[in-house]
Structure 1
Amino acid sequence: MLLSIKRLAKSFDDLEVLKDINMDIEKGTVVTIMGPSGSGKTTLLRCLNALEEPTNGVFSFDDGFTLDFQHKINKNDLLTLRRKSGMVFQSYNLFPHKTAIENVTEGPIIVQRRSKEEVYEQANNLLKKVGLEDKKDLYPHQLSGGQQQRVGIARALAIEPDLLLFDEPTSALDPELVGDVLSVIKDLANEGWTIVIVTHEVQFAQQVSDQVIFMDGGYIVEQGPPEKVLQNPSENRTQQFLQRILNP
C-alpha cells in the first residue's frame, strides 16, 4: 500500500466540498476518479499533494510518513507531501518564458538542488519518452496543446515522485490531440507508475484502471475495479452518470 487515506474532509468556509473520503492507493496501480462537475474530484486530487490543505483526515504512506490534518501541519511536512507527487494540470501551467526543457528542469534544479548536468540529461530522456525530443528548445506558445501537456507530464516525472496526479489532462485539448496524451499515460501505467487521474474518458479508464472511484456531492458513491464500477455499477447515481456521458 503506497498511501492510505482515512476520513479526508475539505471545507472552504461553510462549503463542505469533501466529506469522509476513505481510499487506498496500491503501489504501481492506476486509480481513476470520475463524477459530475462539482463532485469534489479536483479538490480531492489537490488535497493529495497539499495544493489544498485538507480540513481533516489522515494520510499514511508506506515509508512511515503520516500526516493527521486534525492537527496543525508544519511547513516541512507539507513540503514532504508535495515532493511525493507530481501534478499534471488541466491547463498545462507551464512557465511561458521558459523553453520545454527549462520547464522540465526547473523543479529538480531549484527545488531538489540536483546537479544541472544530471537533470538536463534526464530531461532530454523524458522529452524523448513523451515524443518531444525535437521540441525541447521551443517555448509553450510555439507548441500545440497536446505538446504542452506532454511537456507537463515530463515535468511531473522529472521530480521522480511516488505518485503521479493527472487533473483532467485531456479536457482542454482538441479531440485529435487527446490520443497522444492518453497514449503517454498508458505507457506510464504499463511501466508501473502509481497514477491517480481525474477524467471523463470512460474507454480509457476501462483500459488502464485498476480501481475506479465515482464521486458525487463530495462523497465516494462507489469504488472498485473498472469492470464493476463502469460496466456493472450497483449505485443508481453511477448508472445515471455513465448513461449521460456515454449517450449524450
Structure 2
Amino acid sequence: MNPTLLHIDNVHKTFAGLHALSDVNLDIREGETHAIIGPNGAGKSTLLNVCVGVIAPTKGKVLFDGQQLTGRRPFEINQLGVARVFQTPEIFGDLTVIENVMMAMLSHRDGAFRLRLLSRFDERGQVGRRAAKALADLGLGDHLHHLAGALSRGDKRRLELVMSLAQDPKMLLLDEPTAGMARADTNTTIDILRDIKRKTGITIVIIEHDMHVVFSLADRITVLAGGRVIAQGVPEEIKGNPKVIEAYLGEEQV
C-alpha cells in the first residue's frame, strides 16, 4: 500500500450555524486517483476549498506530504505541490495558448503572478520550449498562437491541465473537470487523464457528478452526504453499498 500523501483529520466547517462539513477524515494515497462524490450540497467543493486554503476549517487540520496546510495561503499550498483545476476553466483568454502555459511556469517559479514576467522570456528560449512541448504532449501543439479565449470548452480544459502540470505538482485536484461537456469531449478528457497518470504517476483527486467518469478513473472513492463521509472503498464496493445507492447512486441511475 502506498503512503498517505494528503491527510484530512477530523475537519469541520460551519457557515452561520450550518454544518457544511462534520468529522471528515480522509487519506489520499500517493499515486492513486481518488474520487469524491455525493449529491449537491454534500460538502465536496467546501472540502476541496479547505484543502487548498481558500477557506479555513472551523476545526481539524489538513496535512500534505507531512506538512500542515491549515493556515497557509493558496499560493503557498500551490508551491508545496498542490495544483487545482476549477470547474470553470481559469485561463487568460486574451493571451495566446503558449503564453498561458509560460505564465503558469513563471508564476509558480517566482511565487507570485506578474504579467510583466512574460516580456523577459522568448518563446524560443527554455521556458517557451518547455511550454510548447507540454502543449504538444496533450494535443494542443497546433494551437500555440491561438487566443486561449477562442478555444473550445474541451480544449480550454486541456489547456488548464497543461498549465497545472507545468507547475510540476505532486497532487492534482480536479473540480468537475467534465462539467458541461458533450460525451465526446468527456471521453477525450478521460483518455487525457489516463495518459497523464500513465506518464507521470501523479496523485489525482477528482470531484465529479458523471459516474461514467468516476468509475472509469478512480482507484478509490469517498462518498459525502450532508457534510459527512458515508462510505469509502474501491469502485465495486461503492456501487454495491446500500447507503450510497440510497443517498446518491440511485438518483444517478448507474
Q: TM-score, normalised by structure 1?
A: 0.88
SS at match of 2:93: coil
Aligned 1:86-101 pairs, distance under 5 A: 86-101=83-98
Against the structure 1 CA distance between its residues 190 and 217, is the aligned structure 2 distance closer, same or farther, given a 3 Å change threshold? same
Task: Please state if 1:133 is matched with 2:141.
Answer: yes
How many residues were matched structurally? 238
- State how far apart, in whole Å, the 2-side matches of 1:137 and 1:53 are: 39
Give the deviation of 1:240 after TM superposition.
Answer: 4.6
Using the alignment, how far apart are the partners of 1:107 and 1:41 within structure 2? 26
Distance, in Å, in 2 between the alignment partners of 1:21 and 1:240 is 17
User: Could you say what the CA RMSD is over the residues aligned between the two structures, in angstroms?
Assistant: 2.1
Which of these residues, 27, 38, 43, is aligned with residue 41 of structure 2?
Answer: 38
Q: What's the CA shift for 1:74?
A: 5.5
Q: Which of the numbers 14, 18, 22 marks the counterpart of 2:21? A: 18
Distance 1:39 1:147 in 2: 29
Of the candidates 4, 7, 10, which is equivalent to residue 7 of structure 1?
10
- Give how far 1:14 is off: 2.7
**1:201 maps onto 2:203 in alignment:** no
Q: Is the 8 A contact 1:214 1:238 kept in 2?
A: no
Unaligned stretches of 5+ residues in structure 2 = 112-119
Q: Deviations over 1:14-46 (max 9, x none)?
A: 332111110001110000011111111111122
Distance 1:61 1:243 in 2: 34
| CA displacement, residues 163-190 of structure 1 (integer Å, 9 cap, x when unaligned) | 1011001112233321111211121223
| Seq. identity, % | 30
1:82 maps to amino acid: N
C-alpha contact 1:105 1:119 (8 A) present in aligned 2: yes
Q: Which moved more, 1:92-101 or 1:117-126?
A: 117-126
Structure 1 runs of 4+ with >3 Å offset = 114-118, 237-240
Distance in 2 of aligned mates of 1:184 and 1:224 = 24
Answering whether residue 211 of structure 2 is matched by residue 214 of structure 1, we say no
> How far apart are residue 239 of structure 1 and its match?
3.8
SS of 2:9 mapped into structure 1: strand
- Tell me whether 1:158 sits opposite 2:139 in the alignment: no
